Amino acid sequence: IVAELYMPIHISFATKADSLKDIKRIYSKDKGFGECREFLNEYDLMNIEHIPVESTAKAAILASQDKDSAAICSHIAAKLYGVPVMFENIEDVHDNTTRFVILSDFKNAISGDDKTSILAKLKDANEAGSLVHFLSDFDAAKINLSKIESRPSKESGGFGYWFYIDFYGHIDEERVQKVIEKHTNEVTWLGSYVKGED
């Protein structure tokens, strides 16, 4: 990861139908339906068939092929696939943002306003307190965590967990290096980059 970018998310309702009463189905990513409940209720669209698809771009593609359908998607996806936007900014929360990251094999220099992302796979993950012990090293080094998220992983002896962690600081800072070196066999560095503005 060499950069992060926070972008505002605005959702559109796109369809080739002439009116709302002609729409028989709505496509979107599962989260898209949940993020637009107020709109769907206001226009009596909750009882129409909602079909979850893998992305809002896919929703726009499907709506472009069927005049009786609509898509909950970005205005960019609607434009890209030729589906007219009937309503814009239909999201319930108007200040939503999504974080995007840029991947490269390039390594950033220390900027003084950095964030680092790592994956941690604790070797003693099934022992009580293993995560607390791991994180206490960050606390002792005065490294502030901004995110920690667990994901299950298949192990030869059952299931374990990976932890995705973001923290403030750069991999080349001495205090960060000391913590990472202590856990060399448990940590995969994903990148250090200038903090994005959210």
Residue 157 is predicted with a pLDDT of 63
- pLDDT at position 128 is 84
Residue with tokens 């189905």: 25
Residues 6+ apart with CB under 8 A from 35: 11, 91, 92, 93, 96
Q: Which domain holds residue 77?
A: 9-97
Same structural domain, 77 and 145: no
- Supply the pLDDT for residue 158: 63
Do residues 159 and 111 share a domain? Answer: yes
Spell out, as residue ranges, where the chain has pLDDT lower than 50: none
**15 within domain boundaries:** yes
Residue 160 is predicted with a pLDDT of 76
Q: What local confidence, expressed as pLDDT, does residue 156 receive?
A: 59
- Asked if 61 and 136 sit in the same domain, the reply is no
Residues 117 and 73 in one domain: no
Overall pTM surpassing 0.95 (yes/no): no
* Confidence (pLDDT) at 98: 87
Neighbouring residues of 170: CB distance < 8 A, sequence distance ≥ 6: 108, 110, 111, 114, 116, 176, 192
pLDDT of residue 19: 96
DSSP E strand stretches across the chain: 3-8, 12-15, 25-28, 49-52, 69-73, 85-87, 97-102, 114-120, 145-155, 158-168, 187-194
Residue 74: inside a domain, yes or no?
yes
Number of domains within the chain: 2
In angstroms, rounded to a whole number, what is the distance separating the alpha carbons of residues 10 and 15? 17
